[in-house]
Amino acid sequence: MDLTLKTLHLEDVLANHGQDMTGKIVAVTGTTSGTGYVCARELARKGATVILLNRQSQRATESAQNLQQEVPNGVFDAITCDLQDFASVQTAIDTIKSKYDKLDVLVNNAGVMALKDQATKDGYDVQIQTNVLSHFLLTKGLFPLLMASGQGRVVNHSSMARLGDPLDMKYFGKNGGNLGGDGTPEENLSFKGPRWQRYHQTKLANCAFTYGLKEKLEAAGIDQVIPLLAHPGLALTQLQFTTTEDGGMQTSEELMSRGQSAEDGATGIIRAAMDPEAQSGDFFGPENWKGYPDRLPPEDLLFDEANIRVNWEGCEAAVGTFSFSGARGA
C-alpha cells in the first residue's frame, strides 16, 4: 500500500512532554518497525540507553542497524527476546540482569493482532502469549531492576480493541488452537468473530494488568515504580499488514487514510515513557482513532475488579507468582 500520512503530533509531544533521558536505561519490546521503532529512536535521541527486545531475525538485525544510522550517537543494545517462547523471555531477563543494575522504563509495546487460532510451543494462544503473558513475565522478572531505578516506569500498550466483553479465563490457559477457530471471511472483514475476540481479550488484559499492578503496588506501599497505559489509535504500521497476510483482515487505503502515521501512533508510549508529570495509572492516547495523546479517563472495565482478578490469576498460573517481597513497605 502506497500511503503516506503526515505526522502532526510527535514534535510537540517531545517538546512539551519529554525530558532528558541521559543516564536512563529503557527496554522496549517490538522495535523492528512501527510504534516500537519510533519509540526506541526518540528515547535514544533524548539520551537513553535503549534495550531492543525482539526475536532473532534478519529484520531485527536490520532495524537495529537502521536505528543506529538514524541516531549515530545513540546507545542501543539488541537482546533476543521471543515473546512466543517463555524460555526465550526468561533468557532475556537473565541477560538484562547480568548487564544492568537498574531499569528506568520498560515499554511493553510488541503485539500481534487477529492471528489464526494456533498454539505457541508453550501451548498458549499466540496472541495471549505474545501480547499479555510474556509481558507479565518480563515485568515481574525485571521488577527488581525497576525498583532499583527509584523512579521506574512500566508502560503497557493497549488499543481501541480494549472495549468489549469482560475477560474470560479460558483465553489465559493452555488452549491454543481451541479458542473459536479462524472466523469467516465476512467476520474478519468486519473486525468480528473469534480472531478479533481473542485480540480484544489481550488488549483489555493489557489495561487490567496496568490497573492491577497499580493496586498491588499501592497496597504494598511501593511508589518507586509506576504503571502507565497508552494506545496508538489507528496507526499505519506493519501490524495491519501482518494480520492481512494471515487472513485476519483486509486493509485498504481508504481505511488507513482515516488513521495516523506510525510516529503519531507512538506518541502515547513516548509520553508515558518520558513525561515528567506522569502519575501512576495515567492513560495516554488519542480520544478516538487519531489525534493528540491526551491524558484519557480510563473506562470502568479497565479497572473492573473481576477483569483485574482474571488477568492476574491467569498470568500467574502461566508464568509464576509476581512477588513484591523485599520492597519497601511490602
Q: Does residue 132 sit within a domain?
A: yes
Q: Does residue 3 sit within a domain?
A: no
Q: What is the reported pLDDT for 234?
A: 86
Q: Does residue 2 sit within a domain?
A: no
Q: What is the reported pLDDT for 319?
A: 98
**CA of residue 185 relative to chain centroid, distance:** 28
CATH at 244? 3.40.50.720
Domain count, the chain: 1
Closest listed residue to residue 207, CA positions, set 62, 317, 288, 310 = 310
Using alpha carbons only, give the angle 32, 36, 39 rounded to the nearest 5 degrees: 125
- Residue numbers of the chain with a pLDDT score lower than 70: 1-3, 236-258, 326-330
Q: Does residue 330 sit within a domain?
A: no
Domain holding 228, by residue range, is 10-319
Three-state SS for 161? helix
Output Rg (C-alpha) for the chain, integer angstroms.
18
- CB-CB contact of 261 with 252 (8 Å): no
- Residue in 24, 140, 203, 214 annotated catalytic: 203
- Residue in 199, 211, 214, 290 annotated catalytic: 199
Q: Does residue 250 sit within a domain?
A: yes
Q: Does residue 177 sit within a domain?
A: yes
Q: Does residue 5 sit within a domain?
A: no
Q: Does residue 170 sit within a domain?
A: yes
E-strand spans in 24-174? 25-29, 49-54, 75-80, 105-108, 152-157
Active-site residue 199, yes or no? yes
Report the predicted TM-score, pTM, of the whole model to 2 decimal places.
Answer: 0.93
Q: What is the reported pLDDT for 82?
A: 98
Active-site residue 192, yes or no? no
Question: Residue 123: what residue type?
Answer: G
